[in-house]
Every structure is written in structure tokens, then in C-alpha cells.
Amino acid sequence: MVQKTTQKTIGILTSGGDAPGMNAAVRAVTRAAIAEGYKVKAIYHGYQGLIDGEIKEFTSESVSGIISRGGTILRSARCLEFMTPEGRAKAYEQYVKAGIDALVCIGGNGTLTGAMDFADEYDIQCIGIPATIDNDVNGTDETIGYDTTLNTIMDCVDKIRDTAASHERIFFVEVMGRDAGWLAQCSAIAAGAEAAIVPESKTDVDQLAAYIEKGIRKSKNSSIVLVSESPKCGAMHYADRVKKEYPQFDVRVSILGHMQRGGSPSARDRILASVLGAFAVKSIKEKQHNVMVGMSNGVPVLVPFAKAIQVQDKSDKTFLELVSKLSN
């Protein structure tokens, strides 16, 4: 028989960019917490909602039917005020007023950084759950939302290839991942793209020149190139270079944008969110403090916030080499 805890209250919020599977995590935390004898208080609009006191008690019925829904039923917002000591002081007032004893924060690096600062300042129990489509959080093999987004990109590229082949064009397809090339390189493999161009800081070669010389000039009349978004060297930048340096090629750009965030989460993301959500509650019960729950080699693990928010390059040159090898 499961030993029930003395009834306490767990708060839960989602923050930053939405990611498919956030709702599955909210559901898992809510139901696992209730099963262990906790009350659950849902906080709407992330840290901004915590500051403003947008807090509502959840029951099991509150999360019924949400596992298949994309986005987040708790809504999300980026909150500059929470980045200040004054903003966090207001949030703590509402935290105490709501009778919350521990806080589960679902999101990416910004969310985890906010949770770390909040926990450090007020000595409260915060547990983070990594949810971001970029898959750029340290200490976990995969983040909630990444797999769904990868499948969305693959589906889009499959459709774009039909047009590229019909008109003998080069298509530069821009995907999210401003500081991480993981989405670009893995979706390139999955969709059979001819090349992937990741952030410039990750490579010491002119990726466009290497691609042109090895690929399109030799044997192909059309091709797909996946490019990580960047304000300076995204898909438009490389398309303009081709027009100037290789005017013989017909070039088009497709920026997938926010469609990458939406959609029903994949089975993999639902499972990951469910496992991590339940593990977060287990960690609270075991009095763990100020850590993120992650997944390492199929096993849930605890990662200190300070380690989780470290900038990590999950891109892998062997993956880029594989894209090149398979495109011959």
C-alpha cells in the first residue's frame, strides 16, 4: 500500500515557448500528486501569473482529456518582471498566500533559470521539467516537445521535396534552434535532405560552399537544405548567397516558423512527459530541492539547476557527416 504524505500543496506552471507534451506533463504531475495525497494548484500564464496570483486548484478532472492536446492549457508568457528581485518578491507573496509548499516549473532554459533563482532566494522546493522543442537543455537526453517537432519538420520537408523535384530547385528550409543545430541535422537525416547548415559557431568550414561543391553541382538538379534559424545567417542569408555566387541555380526559401510548435504530441513525447511528471512528484516527496528531472539512457535522473542551464551543444559533427554521406 502506498504511504500517503501529510497533505501539502504542489504548484505547477508552464513558462516560455510552448512545446507539444506540456499538457501531458501537467496531467502527470496533477494526477501523480493527487495519488500521493497532495493538493495541486495550477498557475496560469507562467511566472507572470504567479506574480499576479492567477492560481486555481486542480482536481483529476481538471486534466481529463488533455494528454493529446498541443500547447499548454495553463497558457504561457515570458515575464521580464520575474527576472528582477522585486518581481520574485511579488511572486513569493502569492506563493505563500496560495499555501503552496513546492513548485513544479515546466519549460526550457529561461524557465529553469527562473526556478533556480526563485528557489535560491526563498529556500523553497522547486523541481524543473525540461520542455522545449530545441532539445538544448543540459543533463537530459531529450526534452519534451522535441520528437513531435522533429516529426512535423519531416512531414513538411517531404511535401516540399515534391515541388523541389518538379521544378529542379534548391530549397532552403529554415527550422527553429537558434543556438542549437540538433533539429536541423536530425530532421535532415529523417527527411533525406541533401545538407544541414547549423549555427556558424559550430563549424570551421563554409558549409554552403562545401554543399554546393559536393552536392548539387555533381549529380542533382534539386535538393533540400535544412538551416537553423539565425538573425544573421538563416535560410534567407544562404539563399541570397546562392543567387549572387551561383546564379545558375533556381532557389526558394521556406521558413516553417511557429507551425513547428503546434500539433498533438507524439507517443514518445507523451510517454516522456508522463514519466518526468510523475518523477517530479516522487522527487518532491523525497524532499529533493532545486533540481530538474531529466532522462539519461532511459532512466529518470535528477540534475542540479546550475548544471541544467549550462549552454550545451547537442549538435554532432558525425550527424552532419552522415547527412553528407547519404546525400551522394
Active site residues: 134
Question: Is residue 47 within 8 Å of residue 15, measured between CB atoms?
Answer: yes
Query: Strands 291-296 and 299-304: what pairing?
Result: antiparallel
